[in-house]
Structure 1
Amino acid sequence: MSATELRAALLAANGGFRQEPIALGALAAVVREPSADDWQFAGVKAREWLGLAPEADQAAVIEAAKGDAGRGLDAAFVVRVLFDKSGAPVFSDVDADALRAQWGPEYARVVSRALQLANLDSRTPLADAKNGLPETQAASS
């Protein structure tokens, strides 16, 4: 890969994120790890969908989400992390409500893969992230 190609790839809209091709039925797509903005959007939508105040803390969201029982709380992530083969978003933010209404296991697999790409699929993602910090690694060597 030439420097020009590498530069173009890294300056692309999703160039700084891990991503990989996936198949949705017979269709090809790309899933990308969530950005900080994606997490914020998902948090806002979760509070809205669960009937919580915008200032509700994470513990309140987690407790309220137990009653969601897989009905699509992660729909806000799908609209943010799913792209077509050319890198264009498949959905816009306004699609989150419609996607949540017809939530299915294929969408859950997209969210699961996005979290895996971000290394957030373990039981202890915060501790795992801390263990990957340079100062943590330096202290343990």
Structure 2
Amino acid sequence: MSSPLLGLHHVALICADYARSRDFYVRVLGLTVLAEHYREARESWKLDLALPDGGQLELFSFPAAPPRPSRPEAQGLRHLAFRVAALEPVIERLAAEGVDCEPIRVDEYTGRRFTFFADPDGLPLELYEIG
């Protein structure tokens, strides 16, 4: 029996500082804004961002949201991985913005190269080279 799931539609992220995270995802990572709304009743911003493959990221701000435990790794979403054609140009772009990437590693099962970095709230993000 095949899955009724057609693919990933979006991933939702909650940030501590909306302006800082908006700048990171839009200017630094280059994602396109689809919609942006301030939700008065929730004192919350909602930003819809487009990925080139049709997927989306939703960026939310909520007052007094607790920080996400990253180390030691907690249960739940481990990291968010982005496909890239080549690692080095993206790593250089991030470095120019003051974003550090871990040393490049090789996936022992696929032979593909990858690296990790963090968003402004410490959310682990991965660049996965598809060649």
TM-score (norm 2): 0.25
- Structure with more of its chain in strand, by fraction: 2
- Structure with more of its chain in helix, by fraction: 1
